[in-house]
Amino acid sequence: MRKQSLIEVSYSKELKGDNTMGEVFFKRFTFNQLVQHWIMIGTFMALVVTGMPVKFPDAWWSPVIINMVGGFEMRTLIHHAAGISMVVLGIYHVTFHVFVDKESLLDRKVWPTLKDAKDFWQTVLFYFGKAENPKYGRYSWKEKFDYWGAFWGMVMLCVTGLIMMFPFIAMEYIPYAYVHLATIIHTDEALLATLFIFIVHWWNVHYSPEVFPMSKAWLTGNLSEEQMKHEHPLEYEEIMRQMRERSEKVPD
């Protein structure tokens, strides 16, 4: 996120016998971001497990899951606790990246650009063998969609979730029908998020042959030079350019 992070390159401690440089790692996520992602995984899974049995109450697995988590009251308790944790996480995330992170908001690499639309189309063509794989910068269009999808989803689920949690208080401010509408939005949006994570996100970071069984970036926060060259070539070039400039400025 920070400019500095672009040139935060660490070397593995084991130097090879011939005294050449060891394997190079590129900082992808800060420890702060990793912890946020871990909390997100925990709360999200808890919410899915305790929420889906109520979205599909007549399914055979619905009572099975409810019994497994300790009954319906416990289900509700877990769902509320995990939901509130996720909301707190979201508030922390926005506060941190807007107020604490020093980089100017407009310079962030995460904003969608016209290039992403072009990349999307080029990816489709690439899948049909009609074009090269698009060259991505720090974030590919898939990653940006992941991020903003989760962002939008959390806002929607938080608002509708609070309405469902306090329906009679909500009814003093909004029409009765909108309280029920909240359940439609909440469950549809949750189903969308669940399917998206299980199909699309897990394909990109777990099942895809490039990373199978998983991309270790979510544990270490690092990418190898090989991965960097192939998945984020533009960012790689940028880092290399900056490093060259730096070494020219400070000759040792």
In the list 185, 220, 237, 240, the residue contacting other proteins (rule: CB under 8 A) is 185
In terms of CB distance, is 115 or 201 closer to other proteins?
201
State the nearest-atom distance from the C-beta of 143 to other proteins, in Å: 13
Q: Could you say whether residue 149 binds other proteins (CB under 8 A)?
A: yes
Scan residues 15-34 and list those touching other proteins (CB under 8 A).
Answer: none
Residues 56-95: x/- map of binding to other proteins (CB under 8 A)?
-xx---xx--xx---xxx-x--------------------
- Phi, psi (rounded to 5 degrees) for 38: -65, -45
In the list 203, 212, 225, 242, the residue contacting other proteins (rule: CB under 8 A) is 203
Rounded-to-integer distance, Cα 101 and Cα 78, Å:
32
State the nearest-atom distance from the C-beta of 178 to other proteins, in Å: 6
Rounded-to-integer distance, Cα 232 and Cα 140, Å:
8
Cβ count within 10 A of residue 157: 22
Q: Could you say whether residue 4 binds other proteins (CB under 8 A)?
A: no
β-pair partners for 11: 24
SS3 for 54-91 is: HHCCCCCHHHHHHHHCCHHHHHHHHHHHHHHHHHHHHH
Q: Could you say whether residue 175 binds other proteins (CB under 8 A)?
A: yes
State the nearest-atom distance from the C-beta of 14 to other proteins, in Å: 26
Q: If you count DSSP H runs as helices and E runs as strands, how many of each does the chain have, helices first?
A: 11, 3
Token pair 């305790």: residue: 50
In degrees to the nearest 10, what's the CA dihedral of 208, 212, 214, 217? -80
In the list 12, 41, 112, 188, the residue contacting other proteins (rule: CB under 8 A) is 188
Q: Could you say whether residue 53 binds other proteins (CB under 8 A)?
A: yes
Count of residues touching other proteins (by CB under 8 A): 44
With beta carbons less than 8 A apart as the criterion, state whether 100 and 1 touch: no
Instruction: Kindly state the helix (H) or strand (E) to which residue 224 belongs, with its residue range.
Output: strand 222-224
Under DSSP, is residue 11 helix (H, G, I), strand (E, B) or coil? strand
Q: Could you say whether residue 119 binds other proteins (CB under 8 A)?
A: no
**Buried b vs exposed e over 2-18: b needs ≥16 C-beta within 10 Å?**
eeebbbebeeeeeeeee
State the nearest-atom distance from the C-beta of 121 to other proteins, in Å: 12
In terms of CB distance, is 9 or 200 closer to other proteins?
200
Residues in contact with other proteins by CB under 8 A are 53-54, 57-58, 62-63, 66-67, 71-73, 75, 123-124, 126-129, 133, 149, 168, 171, 175-178, 180-181, 183-185, 188-189, 191-192, 195-196, 199-200, 203, 208-210, 230
